[in-house]
Amino acid sequence: MKKALLFAATLFASAAAFAQEAAATATTHAGNSNSGLVALSAAIAIGLAVYGGTSAQGKAASAALEGIARNPAAGDKLFTPLILSLALIESLVILAFLVAFIKIPAASFGF
């Protein structure tokens, strides 16, 4: 019983401390109310980029493996374009990641 009371007291005391900190930051960022929406849009952009990149990589690998299965002698000719296309697809995902994280701090300055 003592442990439950101690846990409850700690939980409620920490909630009040976090509420005070959030209220202090809310007053400093009162002029910019779009920062939460920018963070949400950045998360959605990263999610869509990752989904598109993984589906494209899956289709590229599937097509290359199907081509190698049909003609095993063409394996060496398909390997280099496959690796190049996978690298380019992954670079687009990384670019979307960078754009999303560059946009989050820019939102606090009103850009």
Mean pLDDT by 10 residues, the chain (111 residues): 74 63 54 70 86 92 92 90 92 88 69 53
Q: Specify whether the CB–CB gap between 60 and 39 falls below 8 A.
A: no
61-to-58, 72, 94, 109 alpha-carbon distances in Å: 5, 15, 19, 42
pLDDT at 59: 94
Q: What angle do CA 51, 104, 25 make, to 5 degrees?
A: 130
Read off the tokens for 43: 């998360």
Distance CA 38, CA 108 (A): 9
